Chain A
Amino acid sequence: MTRPQLLTGIVAYVLLSAPAVAAEPSFEKDVLPILRAHCVSCHGGDKPKAGLDLSTEKGVTAGGKSGAVVKPGSLKESPLWLNVSTDKMPATGPKLTDEEKAVLRTWVAGAKTGTVQPVKPGQKRGVTAAAKAVDDAIEARLAKDGLKPAEQADDSEFLRRVYLDLTGVVPTAEKAVAFLDDTSPDRRARLIDELLASPEHGRFAGEQWAALLSAEEPELRPKLAAWLADQFNRGRGWNAVVSDLIAADGTGPETNFVMAHAENKQPVPEKLAGATARLFLGLQLQCAECHNHPFTEWKQTDFWALAAFYSRARMATKPPAGLSDSETPVIKLPPPKKGEPAVDLSGAVIPIGANAGRAAGKPVRAKFLGGPEPGLDPKGPFRPALAAWITAADNPYFADATVNRVWAELFGRGLVNPVDDLSPENPASHPEVLRALADEFRASGFDRKHLIRCICNSKTYQRTSRGTDTAGEKVYARVPVKVMAPGALYDSLVRTTGVKEVRLDVYLPSGGRGGVTAKRPAREVFVRFFGTRDPDAPGTEYTHGIPQALGLLNGPTFTRPTPVVEQLVKDKVMPEKAVERLYLAALARRPTADETKLMTAYLAKRTDPAIGYAGVLWILLNSPEFVLIR
C-alpha cells in the first residue's frame, strides 16, 4: 500500500470516532431529516408523487412507479442520488446544501449492507445489539453470496463448543445432563456468563496468551500464564494488561514477555519490536527489520523506530536485580572510523542492527508507527510511552488486532488472515463485523470478556458446524470445526476419564529446552508433545502426527481401566446406560439409537464389563469427535 492510502485509513478512523461527522450515517438520524426537509412535501403523504414515498425507510427501499431509487452501494444506479446531486430535484424549493448532499452520498454509497449502525464512541451497544450487528452483517453477506445460513447448533453441540472455547475443557457428564435437560429459554446466555465467570476461563485464556507471548521460551511460560490468568479472571482491561507487559519493571511475572525476547538474558529490541507489532497491533513488521517491507508501506526505519523504545530495557544482574530501562543502550556501536563523527546514541535511539543490510549502524529515533516522534525524556524510561500509545483508545490498530485474535480463538481463523497481518492489502472478510466489534471493545474499556460475550451470544457463533459445502464455511454459513489446543486435550482427557494424570512415555519432538521428559510434570510433557501447531496457525488445522496418534491409541494411561470405567462396573449399570454415561462424559451428548446398538453389540461380546467399557471409552477418546471442537 502507498503512504496516501494509509493516511486515508487513519483519517477515516478519526472521522469515525468524532461524533460530528458520521462516517456511516444512520437513516433515522441523518438521512430522514434531510428527506423530510426537502422531499416529503411531494414524495409523501397519502398520494406521493410518482408513487415514491420518501418519508420512511421502507418507502425509500420500495422505490416508485419507475422502480428502485436507491441501489445500495452504487451511486451511479441510484436515481435518488443522481437527481439530487444534479439539482434536478427537489423540483421546487431550495436545493440541498453540500453538507446534506455529502450525508446522502455517504449513505447511498455506504449502504452496502445497510445494517450496521454506528455507535458513538464511549458508548456500548450492549451484548444483544452487538451480537445482532454481527449477525446482520454475516447474514447480509451470505444473502449477497446466495448462501443460506445453517441451522442453529443443538444444545449438546453448543454446550461442548462453548465449554472448550471459553474454559478449555469438556463439561462433566453431570453438567451435560443438567444443560441438556434445561428448557429455560435463556440457558445459553446463562451458560456463557457462568463460564466467563469461572476461574477456568482465565486459566485457559492465560495459557493461550502465554504461549503467544513467550513462543520461543517455554520455560518462562508457566509464570506468565498464571499472571495472565489472574488478570483475565479479575476482568482487567486488555489495555491495562498489555501496558503492564510492555512497560514491565522489576522482577514480577509480567516481565516475562520482555524476557521471552532475549538473548543471554538481555532483552533484544528487534525481537521485541517484531513481537509487539504482531501481537498487539496485528502488523507484520518483521520483514522491515532488514529492508523496506515489500508488500506494505512499512520502512526499515519504522521497524527500528519501534525497536528504539526497547533500546534501554536491561536485566540487571547485580542488586537491585530485575528488568528496567537503564541509561546504557543495549546495542553498542564500534568506535567511529577516522574522520567520521561519532553516532549520538543518547535518548531513545537505536542503531539499525549489524545484520540488517546496507543501512546497518544508522541511528533511528523512537517514533510511533505511522505517528509522531514522542517527546521523551532522554534519560528514559521509554517503554511506558510506547505502552500508552499502543493501548490508547484512539490507537488505530490495537482494538482491531485484538478483536481479530479473539474472533480467531472462537472461529478457528480471523476476520483477517493471517491473524497478525492487518493491512489495507489484506482486507477483512467482513469489515463491518470487525468495525462493529472493535467499536464495542473500545467502548467497553477493552473488556475482553464483554467482547467474547457479544460474539458467543450471536446466532453466528451458535450455528451448527454440520455441513459439506466449503464455500459456506468461509463466510460463516456454519461454524468451522476446530482442533483442541494441547492443554485442552489434556484437561478433557483427565476430566472424561477421571485419571489423576496422563503420562506419556515419549520423547519431546520439538523446540525449546529439555529433551528429557522423566522429571517434568505429566501435563507439561503432554502439552509439549502435542504442541505441534504454531500458536498463530489457524485453530482449524490438525497437526498431530503418527507419534501423537500412537500416544493416544496405545499410551499407558488408557489401556488400564480408568476411574470412570471402574465406577460403571461398581454401579452395575445396564450396558445402554453405561454407553450413555460414557458418551456424555466424552462427547457431551447422548448416543444415537444406532450408536447405542453399535456399542452394545461390541459390549455383548465382552465377558468382562471393565474391558468392554474401557473399549467403548477408548473408541470415543480416539474418535475425531473427541479431539475436535464441533
Chain B
Amino acid sequence: MSQLTRRELFCLSAAGVGGASASGWLGALAAHAAKPLAGKKAKQCILLWMDGGPSHHDTFDMKPDAPADVRGEFTPIQSSVTGLQVTEMLPRVAKVMHLAAVIRGMSTGESEHGRARTYLHTGYRVGAGGLQYPTMGSLMTAAAGEPADAAMPNFVVTGTHLNPANWSYVASPGHLGPRHTPLIVADPAGGVANLKPGVDDAEFDDRAAVLDQMTRGFLRDRPAPPAAAQATAYQRAVQLMRSPKGKAFDLSAEPLKVRATYGDHAFGKGCLLARRLVEVGVPFVEVYHAPTPGGWDNHTGARAKEVKTLALPQLDQGMSALLADLKDRGLLDNTLVVWMGEFGRTPKVKPDGGRDHYARAWTTLLAGGGVQGGAIVGRTDKTGATVEDRPVSAADFMATVCQALGVDPETEFQVGERPVRAVDKGSKPLTELF
C-alpha cells in the first residue's frame, strides 16, 4: 500500500462525492451510492402529527347550531374558503384554508391511544396478520425506492415530548427492517447529534484519508456484504457532515424574521425544519406536536386549558407559516402536508370542560401535493357524532396519501415467505381530492 498524495486523493474524490472537502473519503463508493432516481421528481411529504387526538368540534368541523354542551366554548370564524368555518383559535390557519382539503368523514373505530396511533400511522390494526407494520414515513420512502441523494436521510422525525411509553409507532419501520428507521431529531433547533467533527476540519480530513485507505484494504481482502454496508454507512455519514445540505438541519441559518413567523416553540421550529429539509430534497418529515406530555388529550378542564393556550395557538402559527411558505417557494405542488391525530373527541363536553376519545367521526386535513385546496369531503351529523357521507377508514386514508405521493397502494413487500401489501386490501383512496 503506498501513501497517496493529497493531490491524488483529490482526484479520487472528483469521481464521487463532489463535496466541498479536499479529501476523497471513499470517493469510489460514492459513485455507486448516489444514483439519481430515474423519471420524474418524486413527491415529498410532511406529516404534522397531533398527538393525543384533537377535537374536530374545536377545530375544523364546528357545530355552532348544536347545544352548548356539544358546540363547546369556541366560536367559528370564516376562512378563506367560502362556506368553510374554522375555530376562532386558528385565525392564521383560516387565511390559508384555500390551500387545504378538509376530510370530515374519518371513521376508524380505534379509540385507545396506542392502538389508534399505530392504526393511523400504518393503516393496519395492531396485531393484524401477526406482523408489525411500517410507520407512514418508512412505508412511503421504502415504496418510492432508494433516495436520490445518498448524503441525506430520507425520513426524519422531529418534535419534543415524544410520548416515552408509546412512541415507537412514530419511528418503527416494522417489517421493513431497521434500514428504514428514521433519523430522529428530538430537538428541532438542536440539529443532528454528532454532526460536527470533534477535531478541526483539516485534522478530520487527514484522518479520514487514512481511514479511507484502511477501509479499501479491508474491502480488497474481504469484500463481504457487511464490510460494504459499513463503508456505505460511514460514507453517507461523512457526506452528510460535508454536504451543504447538512446545513438544512441548522435553523440558525434562517433569517430571524422567518423564525419568528413560524414561532418560538418546538412545533414552529419543527415546521421550519421540515420546510428546510423538504427544500433540500428529504422525501418525508414527521413533525410531532404535543406541547405538553398530555398533548391534545383534553379529558379534563385543565387539559382543555393546555390545548387552548398552547396546542391550538402553536398549531395556528406553525402550520399557517408552513403552508404559506411552501406556497411562496413553489414547493407546495410537490409536497403533501398531512394534518392528523389518532382520533377526534366526544361530541359532548364534560361538565369540567373536557372531551373524551372518539373514533367514529372526526377530521383530518391534506394540503399540497396535487390535492384540491378548499375542498371539503365527507359530512358528519348535527352533533358531529356519526359520519353521514363518505366515511374514511385508516386504510382509505393511507391509500389517499399513497395516491398523492404517487405510490401504488398494492405495492407488495416480501416479509419472509409472505407478500405484504403497502396498504390493506379493500381500501379506497379519496380520488375526488385530486
Cβ-closest chain B residue relative to A560: B198
A378 at the interface (CB under 8 A from B): no
B295 to chain A, nearest CB (A): 14
> How many residues of A sit at the interface, in one of the four size bands?
35 or more
- A576: shortest Cβ distance to chain B, in Å? 15
In the complex the two chains form, is B210's CB within 8 Å of A542's CB?
no
Cβ contact within 8 Å between A540 and B225: yes
Q: Is the CB of A558 within 8 A of B218?
A: no
* Interface-lining segment among B230-238, B298-306, B342-350: B230-238
Complex Cα gap A287–B165 (Å)? 28
Asked if A624 is an interface residue, CB under 8 A from chain B, the answer is yes
Question: Given the known A-B contacts A482-B226, A619-B214, are A553 and B238 also in contact in the complex, defined by CB atoms under 8 Å?
Answer: yes
Sample 17 A-B pairs with CB under 8 A, ordered by A number: A481-B222, A506-B194, A510-B181, A511-B172, A532-B181, A541-B229, A543-B179, A548-B233, A549-B237, A550-B237, A550-B240, A551-B193, A553-B238, A554-B197, A619-B211, A622-B211, A628-B226
Q: Are B193 and A506 in contact (CB-based, < 8 A)? A: yes
- Asked if A541 contacts B238 (CB within 8 A), the reply is no
Q: How far is the CA of A599 from the CA of B233 in the complex (A)?
A: 24
A480's nearest neighbour on chain B, judged by CB, is B224
Closest-by-CB residue of A relative to B125 is: A355
A residues near B214, Cβ cutoff 8 Å: 595, 619-620, 623-625
C-beta contact mask, B196-207 vs A, less than 8 Å → 1, else 0? 111100010011
Contact among B194, B195, B213, B233 for A544, CB-based, below 8 A: B233
Interface size on B, residues (CB 8 A): 61
A511 and B168 contact, Cβ closer than 8 Å, known pairs A602-B206, A615-B207: yes
Pairwise interchain contact A624-B227, C-beta atoms closer than 8 A = yes
Query: Which residue of chain A has its CB nearest to the CB of B166?
Result: A513
Given contacts A483-B230, A513-B164, 17 further A-B contacts (CB under 8 A): A418-B416, A466-B221, A481-B226, A483-B226, A504-B193, A509-B171, A510-B178, A513-B165, A540-B225, A542-B225, A550-B193, A559-B199, A560-B198, A615-B206, A619-B211, A623-B215, A624-B230
- The 7 residue pairs across chains A and B that have the minimum distance between CB atoms: A559-B198, A549-B237, A542-B229, A542-B226, A594-B1, A481-B224, A550-B194
A239-287 residues with Cβ-Cβ distance < 8 A to B are: 274, 284, 286-287
Contact A597 B3 (CB under 8 A): yes
Q: Which of A482, A550, A622 contacts B192 (CB 8 A)?
A: A550
A556 within 8 A of B: yes
> A556–B129 Cα gap in the complex (Å)?
43
Q: Which residues on the A side are within 8 Å of B203 (C-beta)?
A: 611, 615
Is B193 a contact partner of A628 (Cβ separation < 8 A)? no
Closest to B231 in A: A624
Known: A289-B130, A468-B223, A544-B233. A507 touches B186 (CB 8 A): yes
A553 is contacted by which of B153, B194, B219, B224 (Cβ under 8 Å)? B194
Chain A residues positioned under 8 Å from B224 (CB to CB): 465, 473, 480-481, 540, 628
Contacts of A504 in B (CB 8 A): 193-194
Closest to B209 in A: A602
Q: Which residues of B contact A289 (CB under 8 A)?
A: 130
A516 to B198, CA, bound (A): 23
As a 0/1 sequence over residues 90 to 108 of chain A, the CB contacts with chain B under 8 angstroms (1 = contact) are 0000000000000000000
Picked from B193, B198, B226, B237, the residue with its CB within 8 Å of the CB of A540 is B226
Within 8 A of B (CB), among A554-582: 554-556, 558-560
On chain B, the residues within 8 Å of A625 by CB distance are 214, 218
CA distance A473 to B179 in the complex (A): 24
Decide if B194 touches A554 in the complex (CB within 8 Å): yes
A533 is an interface residue with CB less than 8 A from chain B: yes
Whole-angstrom distance from the CB of A512 to the nearest CB of chain B? 7
Minimum C-beta distance from A621 to chain B (A) = 10
Would you call B230 and A546 a contact (CB within 8 A)?
A: no
Q: Whose C-beta in chain A lies nearest to the C-beta of B4?
A: A598
| Residues 409 to 433 of chain B near chain A (Cβ within 8 Å) | 416-418
Which residues of B are found within 8 Å of A599, using beta-carbon distances? 210
A34 to B197, CA, bound (A): 77
A547 to B186, CA, bound (A): 13
The reply to whether A509 and B3 form a contact with Cβ atoms under 8 Å apart is: no
Q: Which residues of B contact A597 (CB under 8 A)?
A: 1, 3
B194 pairs with A515, CB closer than 8 A: no
A547–B127 contact, CB under 8 A?
A: no
CA distance A541 to B196 in the complex (A): 28
Cβ B230 vs Cβ A509 within 8 A: no
Interface string of A469-501 (1 = CB under 8 A from B): 000010000001111000000000000000000
A9 within 8 A of B: no
Contact call B127/A467, Cβ cutoff below 8 A = no
Closest CB in chain A relative to B140 CB, distance in Å: 18
B12: which A residues are within 8 A, CB to CB? none
Nearest-neighbour CB distance to chain A for B137, whole angstroms, equals 13
Q: Is A546 in contact with B233, judged by CB distance below 8 angstroms?
A: yes
A599-B213 Cα distance, complex, nearest whole Å: 11
**Chain A residues packing against B (C-beta within 8 Å):** 274, 284, 286-287, 289-290, 294-295, 355, 418, 465-468, 473, 480-483, 504-507, 509-516, 532-534, 537, 540-551, 553-556, 558-560, 592, 594-595, 597-599, 601-602, 605, 611, 615, 618-620, 622-625, 627-628, 630
CA distance A161 to B226 in the complex (A): 16
Complex contacts, A483 vs chain B, CB 8 Å: 226, 230
Q: Known contacts A548-B233, A553-B234: does B222 contact A286 (CB below 8 Å)?
A: no
Enumerate chain A residues within 8 angstroms of B186, measured Cβ to Cβ.
507, 515
Chain B residue with Cβ nearest A556 = B198
> For residue A531, which residue of chain B has the nearest CB?
B178
Asked whether A509 lies within 8 Å of B234 as measured between CB atoms, the reply is no
Instruction: For residue A148, give the distance in angstroms from its CB to the closest CB of chain B.
Output: 17
Question: Known: A511-B168, A598-B210, A630-B222. Is A550-B241 also a contact (CB below 8 A)?
Answer: yes
B184 at the binding interface (Cβ < 8 Å):
yes
Q: Which residues of A contact B207 (CB under 8 A)?
A: 602, 615, 618-619
**Residues of chain B lying within 8 A (CB to CB) of residue A558:** 198
B229 near A507 with CB under 8 A, answer no
B193/A595 in contact, CB under 8 A: no
B9 at the interface (CB under 8 A from A): no
B202 to chain A, nearest CB (A): 10
Q: Report yes or no: A510 in contact with B213, Cβ–Cβ below 8 A.
A: no
Chain A CB within 8 A of B330 CB: no
Closest to A559 in B: B198
Known: A290-B129, A532-B181. A622 touches B234 (CB 8 A): yes
Cross-chain contact of A543 among B167, B178, B184, B215 (Cβ < 8 A): B178
The verdict on A553 contacting B210 (CB below 8 Å), with A534-B178, A546-B153 known, is no
Check if B177 is an interface residue, CB within 8 A of chain A. Answer: yes
| Cβ-based interface call for B183 (8 A) | yes
- Which residues of B lie under 8 Å from residue A533 when comparing CB positions? 178
Contact A515 B162 (CB under 8 A): yes
A286 and B130 CA atoms in complex are apart in Å by: 7
Given contacts A465-B222, A601-B3, contact A509 B184 (CB under 8 A): yes
User: Closest CB of chain B to A205's CB: distance in Å?
Assistant: 22
Which residues in A have their C-beta under 8 angstroms from that of B183?
Answer: 545-547
| B132 shortest CB reach to chain A, Å | 10
Contact assessment for A287 and B130 in the assembled complex, using a CB-CB cutoff below 8 Å: yes
Give the Cβ gap from A534 to chain B, nearest Cβ, in Å.
7
Q: How far apart sit A595 and B241, CA to CA, in the bound complex (Å)?
A: 27
Interface positions of B from 315 to 374, Cβ below 8 Å from A: none
Contacts of A605 in B (CB 8 A): 206
Among B82-108, those with CB < 8 Å from A are none
B230-257 residues with Cβ-Cβ distance < 8 A to A are 230-231, 233-234, 236-238, 240-241
Rounded to whole angstroms, the CA-CA distance of A209 and B192 in the bound complex is: 33
Which of A289, A534, A622 has the largest count of B CB atoms less than 10 A from its CB? Answer: A622
For the complex, what is the distance from the CA of A154 to the CA of B142, rounded to whole Å?
42
Residues of A within 8 A of B237 (CB): 546, 549-550, 553
Q: Which residues of B contact A553 (CB under 8 A)?
A: 194, 197, 234, 237-238, 241
**Docked pose: A560 CA to B199 CA in angstroms:** 9
- A residues within 8 A CB of B165? 513
Q: What are the residues of chain B within 8 A of A543 when measuring CB–CB? A: 177-179, 229
Assembly CA distance A595 to B129 (angstroms): 53
